[in-house]
Amino acid sequence: MQAVLEFTKEQIDEVDGLIDRYGAHPSGLIPLLEKVQELLGYLPLSIQEYISEKTHISPNRIYGVVTFYSFFTMEARARHRVQLCLGTACYVKGADAMVEKIENDYQINFGESTEDGRFTFEKARCVGACGLAPVVIIDGEVFGKVTVDSLDGILEQFA
């Protein structure tokens, strides 16, 4: 099957185990997709089709879930996920300057990864930490009151 050639046999065996664990019932689809994404790093169409074949859940339903929830991704991510909050408070307190710095220093735009596979740069909607604005989230760790000058030191912590 061409759909799974991009993954190793061991990875597919683990996906099969997750399918067995979460079953083919639609109520288990989101946990199944979460676990598969944890395992593979992303959910490309090929693995969605594979899951559809194994669970008999329509590929359109799986695609709909993957594209509806922002925590699912169909693109391979770098080792570290850098999210910059662009809510009103963060924007007013300088998030736009940090966007420009990351774009210039790392040669990436939102949704892209650095060539060395170190960072994927994403925008975040308001994360509800307006008192800490501007906020940067790296691999789920929140950094508040970030400045353009402090940003390099924060990013250096993530090799």
CATH code: domain of residue 90: 3.40.30.10
130 annotated to bind ligand: yes
Same domain membership, residue 95 and residue 42: no
pTM of the model: 0.70
Say how far apart CA 5 and CA 47 lie, in whole Å: 10
Same domain membership, residue 61 and residue 94: no
Alpha-helix residue ranges (DSSP H) falling in 2-108: 9-22, 29-40, 45-55, 59-68, 88-90, 96-106
* Residue tagged 């699912």 (tokens): 72
Q: Which residues, other chains included, contact 49 with Cβ-Cβ below 8 Å and sequence gap of 6+? A: 3, 59
Quickly state the pLDDT bin for 2 (edges 50, 70, 90). Answer: very low
Provide the residue range defining the domain that includes 14: 9-68
**How far apart, in Å, are the Cα atoms of 1 and each of 51, 124, 148?**
13, 36, 48
pLDDT digits (tens, 9 = 90+) for 49-100: 999 999 999 999 999 999 999 789 998 889 999 999 999 999 999 999 999 9
Say how many domains are in the chain. 2
Q: Which of 68, 100, 116 is the last residue of a domain?
A: 68
126 annotated to bind ligand: yes
Q: Smallest Cα–Cα separation from 102: which of 158, 42, 36, 60?
A: 158
Measure CA 138 to chain center: 11
Same domain membership, residue 101 and residue 34: no
